[in-house]
């Protein structure tokens, strides 16, 4: 098969890593002809462009492809994408992310090209202005008529799109977002070495969060809960992995709260370093208020760590109360601190929940499983057998 993937930017992020792994697998494991079209990997999140080029992939850049809505740039992107697709003549276009999904499906319809779209996270969501929310919902309904199949990264995405009247349920299939599970099964470096480099001692109970320091990622709720956690569990330290525009604000707030010495900011790290940092944690916490299914949740479980998450979107599909972790109400702080304290005080409970998660989800989240499932979706759309 010849598949073209289009994503708005190739920054460091879950949707982008998912897309790049799919392209790498198709090229190296399955022998497909595959092309990746993307915009500049600019921004404080970091870029995956170098990795894509290093892997010998066919990567095409559209300079006008940007995250923010901009009519002139978006029209340029649409025209350039049509030109590239006419040149490449693929069997199918696979679009990723909200804006790339709208522009890409419009281009595919123009060329009468089969199109699959992955919902990594709902394009209309909590935290948007009413104008943006309603605009994206209307655009998704329009684009759905030009979509042969939707791929949801969790069942919750399908539920939300069906309830919003985007498309009937039979147009959706769930394919969990895979990754390289091996570094999470076996620590790349000894956790005690990593902890020592971070200034963490063997006696610290480390609660870690992996996310960009951006709005909607929910760090502010963790900061509000931290005081109660530290008061009840003095051995607790917090490890924040990721960087972003909110870091100075968070550091100032922690200083005012007298908790700055309880938080370690690891900053922006390459994706391959995330596994060793999760192994250095005792508990993984995720307080995002909008996310399809955060990759850090299965990553933490496969590393044998219990997880605490807000009950949003697809979190409940891996965070199973009393089996793999704790689900607490979104934006809560009392319930969040209670869950973190329960786990901090009970090493055996942490071990049991983490082991259950590892057993249940390792094979499901292998990237090879994801890519094989996606190729079956392509084959069904194209009327082929594999």
With b for 16 or more beta-carbon neighbours within 10 A and e for fewer, the 64-78 pattern comes to bbbeeeeeebbeebb
pLDDT at 70: 87
Query: Which structure tokens are listed for 21?
Result: 């792994």
Q: CB of 177 within 8 A of CB of 97? A: no
More confident residue, 258 or 313: 258
Q: Residue 271 and residue 269: Cα distance in Å, rounded?
A: 6
Three-state DSSP state, 158: helix
pLDDT at 43 over 80: no
Residues 6+ apart with CB under 8 A from 190: none
pLDDT digits 0-9 by tens, 124-155? 877 778 888 899 899 999 999 999 999 999 99
- The residue to which tokens 């496969």 are assigned: 302
Structure letter (DSSP) for residue 250: H
* Residue 185 binned pLDDT confidence (cut-offs 50, 70, 90): very high
Count Cα atoms within 13 angstroms, Cβ side, for 157: 26
% of the chain at pLDDT higher than 70: 99
Query: Which structure tokens are listed for 67?
Result: 């995250």
pLDDT at 124: 84
Q: CB of 15 within 8 A of CB of 2? A: no
Paired strand residues for 115: 93
pLDDT at 58: 96
Instruction: Identify the CATH class of 2-178+366-382.
Output: alpha beta
User: Mean per-residue pLDDT for 227-236?
Assistant: 96
pLDDT digits 0-9 by tens, 192-218? 999 999 999 999 999 999 998 998 899
pLDDT at 123: 85
3-state percent breakdown (helix, strand, coil) of the chain, nearest 5: 45, 20, 35
Q: Residue 174 and residue 156: Cα distance in Å, rounded?
A: 9
How far CA 59 is from CA of 27, 34, 55, 95, 135, in Å, comes to 12, 9, 10, 15, 31
Averaged pLDDT score across all residues of the chain: 94
pLDDT at 183: 97
Paired strand residues for 36: 5, 59
More confident residue, 118 or 11: 118
* Residue 385 binned pLDDT confidence (cut-offs 50, 70, 90): confident
Q: Does domain 182-361 have CATH number 3.90.1150.10?
A: no
pLDDT digits 0-9 by tens, 349-371? 999 999 999 999 999 999 999 99
pLDDT at 281: 98
Query: Which structure tokens are listed for 131?
Result: 């104008």
User: Mean per-residue pLDDT for 320-325?
Assistant: 96
Nearest of 115, 92, 91, 113 to residue 102 by alpha carbon: 115
pLDDT at 41 over 90: no
pLDDT at 258: 97
pLDDT digits 0-9 by tens, 46-79? 788 889 989 899 999 999 998 888 899 999 999 9
pLDDT at 158: 96
Q: Residue 263 and residue 350: Cα distance in Å, rounded?
A: 21
pLDDT at 12: 79
Residues 6+ apart with CB under 8 A from 2: 32, 33, 34, 35, 88, 89, 90, 91, 92
User: Mean per-residue pLDDT for 312-321?
Assistant: 94
DSSP per-residue codes, 216-232: TS-HHHHHHHHHHHHHH
How far CA 312 is from CA of 8, 146, 309, in Å, comes to 25, 29, 8
How far CA 255 is from CA of 27, 210, 222, 361, in Å, comes to 49, 21, 15, 38
Q: Where in the chain is the domain with CATH 3.40.50.2000?
A: 2-178+366-382, 182-361
Residue 332, Cβ density class (10 Å: 0-12 exposed, 13-18 middle, ≥19 buried): middle
User: Measured on CA atoms in the order 53, 57, 63, 68, is the torsion positive or negative?
Assistant: negative
Q: What are phi and psi of 127, to 5 degrees?
A: 100, -15
Q: CB of 202 within 8 A of CB of 208? A: no
pLDDT digits 0-9 by tens, 245-292? 999 999 999 999 999 999 999 998 988 899 999 999 999 999 998 888
pLDDT at 263: 98
Q: CB of 108 within 8 A of CB of 146? A: yes
């Amino acid at each position: 098969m010849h598949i073209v993937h289009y994503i708005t930017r190739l920054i460091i992020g879950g949707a982008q890593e998912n897309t790049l792994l799919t392209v790498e697998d198709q090229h190296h494991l399955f022998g497909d002809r595959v092309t990746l079209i993307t915009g500049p990997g600019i921004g404080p999140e970091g870029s995956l462009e170098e990795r894509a080029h290093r892997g010998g992939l066919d990567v095409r850049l559209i300079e006008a492809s940007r995250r923010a809505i901009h009519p002139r740039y978006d029209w340029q992107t649409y025209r350039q994408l049509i030109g590239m697709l006419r040149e490449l003549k693929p069997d199918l276009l696979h679009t990723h992310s909200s804006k790339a999904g709208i522009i890409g499906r419009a281009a595919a319809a123009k060329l009468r090209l089969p199109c699959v779209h992955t919902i990594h996270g709902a394009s209309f969501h909590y935290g948007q202005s009413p104008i943006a929310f309603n605009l994206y919902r209307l655009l998704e309904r329009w684009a759905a008529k030009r979509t042969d199949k939707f791929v949801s990264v969790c069942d919750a995405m399908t539920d939300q799109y069906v309830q919003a009247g985007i498309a009937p349920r039979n147009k959706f299939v769930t394919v969990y977002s895979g990754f390289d599970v091996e570094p999470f099964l076996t620590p790349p470096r000894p956790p005690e070495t990593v902890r020592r480099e971070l200034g963490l001692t063997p006696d610290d109970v480390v609660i870690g969060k992996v996310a960009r320091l951006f709005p909607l990622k929910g760090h502010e709720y963790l900061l509000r809960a931290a005081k109660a956690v530290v008061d009840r569990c003095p051995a607790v330290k917090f490890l924040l992995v990721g960087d972003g525009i909110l870091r100075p604000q968070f550091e100032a707030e922690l200083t005012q709260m007298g908790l700055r010495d309880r938080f370690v900011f690891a900053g922006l790290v390459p994706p391959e370093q995330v596994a060793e940092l999760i192994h250095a944690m005792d508990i993984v916490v995720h307080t995002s208020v909008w996310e399809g299914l955060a990759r850090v949740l299965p990553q933490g479980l496969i590393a044998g760590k219990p997880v605490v998450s807000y009950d949003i979107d697809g979190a409940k599909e891996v965070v199973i109360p009393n089996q793999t972790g704790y689900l607490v109400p979104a934006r809560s702080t009392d319930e969040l601190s209670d869950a973190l304290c329960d786990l901090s005080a009970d090493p055996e409970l942490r071990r049991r929940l983490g082991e259950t998660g590892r057993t249940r989800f390792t094979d499901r989240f292998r990237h090879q499983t994801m890519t094989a499932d996606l190729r079956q979706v392509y084959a069904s759309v194209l009327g082929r057998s594999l």
